[in-house]
């Protein structure tokens, strides 16, 4: 009896202990579960962050690749622009641009057209690519992608006109425009399976801008040089060019061992022509005289206008006899020009007085040669005009 009584509390205590253990285990389980859920959530956050970082890394790699490509293109474009801009001749600018395009873009055909504003057409100045696949030599403004680019000064991209058995291609025409003026256009073709990307179009526009500026600078340089060395009325070299060329020809004649001749030419009674017929008529006479004399000279001879009605002619390789013969040809060519006629039956013959000199390679002195020719010209004037005299004086047949 006492044993049973004694055992009952023990059973109750054990059950109480088990309940406490269960509650503790349940609490521990719940805590562990909460912790696991937190860890899982944290892992998901880390995985999400990892995926985002991977996307960032991919974007950075793509951006890096694009920046490297852009830098490579800009470096090439800078070098190309430097090379193009150093050219002082428009034809050289065009040639260098065609050569440079191969470094910047893939193409099958490239052509550069230069606009002739007076004729309203563009002439193909340079080309490269598949033989026989280039477009026409001359393109009218407004016709096709090239003509349209010239007409509206904008980029045109369209299907190329089929030529023979050539495969389908895309045509890209970009105007060459500088300071509000269209100078020409760049034309490219390549297979339509390889369309032009946006960055390629931007690159080509930048190159076209650089080429246009270089071309305009070259044209300006050529015009400035022309104005500095050419008489604008007669379009023959001027006084400055004559003296520079005379010194160079004298040095060349000494070095290569040949004679050098010189003619000084003066229109007779030119003031009378201006007084009777007016200065515009006098200008027309000067133009006609320059044209007539130039037609009688060799390509190696140099004629220049060195004064109001005075011309000079450098004759490489000519001794006294040849100088005399050339002077006589010039005198006759001008004497054959139609005389001037005006109101009141006024007429005036156009004639020349010519003085010449020549020196051998051992005695060439530009200043002395010029002085001798001037003295011979004075003798021709003093002898009655419309004649040729050569220093030292040689009898001249009339």
pLDDT of residue 386: 96
- Three-state DSSP class for residue 14: helix
- The percent helix, strand, coil of the chain (3-state, each to 5) is 55, 20, 25
Determine which of 61-75, 259-273, 350-364 has the lowest per-residue pLDDT on average: 61-75
- Rounded to an integer, the average pLDDT of 152-162 is 88
pLDDT of residue 291: 96
172-208 pLDDT per residue, tens: 999 999 989 999 999 999 988 888 888 889 889 999 9
pLDDT tier for residue 297 given thresholds of 50, 70 and 90 = very high
- Rounded to an integer, the average pLDDT of 123-149 is 86
Q: What contacts 38, CB < 8 A, 6 or more positions away?
A: none
Q: Are strands 121-129 and 138-140 parallel, antiparallel or unpaired?
A: antiparallel
Burial 1-36 (b: 16+ CB within 10 A, else e): eeeeeeeeeeeeeeeeeeeeeeeeeeeeeeeeeeee
Q: What is the mean pLDDT of the chain?
A: 87
- Rounded to an integer, the average pLDDT of 28-46 is 88
pLDDT of residue 149: 94
pLDDT tier for residue 395 given thresholds of 50, 70 and 90 = very low
pLDDT of residue 164: 67
In the numeric block, the tokens 């000084």 are attached to 264
**Three-point CA angle 268, 357, 314, nearest 5°:** 80
Q: Where are the domains of the chain?
A: 90-229, 239-391
For domain 90-229, the CATH architecture is 2-Layer Sandwich (3.30)
Q: In 166-259, at which residue ranges do the beta strands (DSSP E only) sit?
A: 169-178, 181-191
State how far the Cα of 362 lies from the Cα of 367, in Å rounded to an integer.
15
Specify the CATH superfamily of domain 239-391: Reverse transcriptase/Diguanylate cyclase domain (3.30.70.270)
- Three-state DSSP class for residue 109: strand
pLDDT of residue 136: 87
pLDDT at 3 over 50: no
Taking only Cα atoms into account, the Rg of the chain, rounded to an integer number of angstroms, comes to 44
304-318 pLDDT per residue, tens: 999 999 999 999 999
Q: Which residues are catalytic?
A: 309
State how far the Cα of 66 lies from the Cα of 44, in Å rounded to an integer.
32
- Three-state DSSP class for residue 107: coil
pLDDT of residue 343: 65
User: Which one has a higher pLDDT value, 23 or 372?
Assistant: 372
pLDDT at 295 over 50: yes
């Amino acid at each position: 009896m006492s044993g049973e009584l004694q055992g009952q509390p023990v059973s109750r205590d054990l059950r109480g202990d088990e309940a406490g253990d269960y509650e503790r285990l349940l609490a521990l389980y719940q805590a562990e579960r909460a912790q696991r859920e937190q860890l899982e959530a944290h892992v998901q956050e880390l995985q999400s962050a990892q995926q985002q970082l991977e996307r960032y890394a991919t974007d950075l790699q793509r951006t890096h690749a694009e920046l490297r490509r852009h830098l490579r293109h800009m470096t090439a474009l800078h070098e190309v622009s430097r090379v193009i801009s150093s050219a002082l001749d428009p034809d050289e600018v065009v040639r260098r641009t065609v050569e440079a395009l191969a470094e910047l873009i893939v193409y099958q055909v490239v052509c550069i057209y230069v606009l002739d504003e007076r004729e309203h057409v563009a002439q193909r100045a340079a080309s490269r690519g598949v033989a026989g696949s280039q477009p026409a030599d001359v393109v009218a403004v407004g016709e096709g992608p090239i003509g349209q680019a010239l007409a509206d000064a904008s980029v045109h991209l369209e299907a190329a006109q089929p030529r023979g058995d050539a495969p389908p291609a895309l045509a890209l025409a970009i105007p060459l425009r500088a300071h509000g003026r269209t100078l020409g256009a760049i034309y490219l073709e390549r297979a339509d399976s390889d369309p032009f990307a946006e960055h390629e179009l931007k690159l080509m526009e930048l190159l076209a801008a650089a080429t246009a500026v270089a071309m305009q600078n070259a044209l300006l340089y050529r015009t400035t040089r022309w104005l500095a060395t050419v008489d604008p009325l007669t379009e023959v070299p001027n006084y400055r060019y004559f003296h520079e060329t005379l010194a160079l020809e004298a040095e060349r004649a000494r070095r290569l061992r040949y004679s050098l001749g010189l003619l000084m030419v003066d229109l007779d009674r030119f003031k009378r022509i201006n007084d009777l017929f007016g200065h515009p008529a006098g200008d027309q006479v000067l133009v006609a005289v320059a044209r007539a004399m130039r037609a009688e000279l060799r390509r190696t001879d140099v004629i220049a206008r060195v004064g109001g009605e005075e011309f000079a002619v450098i004759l490489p390789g000519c001794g006294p006899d040849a100088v005399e013969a050339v002077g006589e040809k010039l005198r006759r060519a001008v004497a054959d020009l139609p005389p001037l006629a005006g109101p009141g039956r006024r007429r005036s013959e156009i004639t020349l007085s010519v003085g010449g000199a020549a020196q051998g390679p051992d005695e060439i002195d530009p200043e002395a040669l010029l002085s001798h020719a001037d003295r011979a010209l004075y003798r021709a004037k003093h002898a009655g005009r419309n004649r040729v005299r050569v220093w030292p004086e040689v009898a001249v047949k009339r």
